Amino acid sequence: MEIWINPACSKCRSAISLLDAEGADYTVRRYLEDVPSEDEIRAVLGRLGLEPWDITRTQEADAKELGLKDWPREASARDRWIAALAGHPRLIQRPIITADDGTALVGRTEDAVTEAISRGKS
């Protein structure tokens, strides 16, 4: 499994601690340094079963500068949202865990991280 993190984020650090405590096998991706491409974001969205606006941190300064709150949340605007996430990775909700079973989860809670771990053991 892979976990996309920002090391400055307490939720990311908590997720890593839980993964370590459970002895999970995972790879860390510091997505602010190793920025995901638009195609990678599309793939993760498919694994999450979510739309780009569902994983966008709309309270970030970049989001406000871009005026994201006024962007349409519909299929015709999907590529625009994905481009914004790739161009401004701070906007990506974190942490995102890609499970070994091909799914992904936003690991902001202990339950979500535990779920990702269990999917890896299936």
Catalytic residues: 9
Task: Decide: 70 and 79 in contact? Cβ < 8 Å.
Answer: no
Q: How far apart are CA 55 and CA 41, in angstroms?
A: 10
DSSP string, 67-92: TGGGS--SGGGHHHHHHHHHH-GGGB
Tokens representing residue 110 in the block:
């202990």
The residue among 86, 44, 85, 50 whose CA lies nearest residue 68 is 85
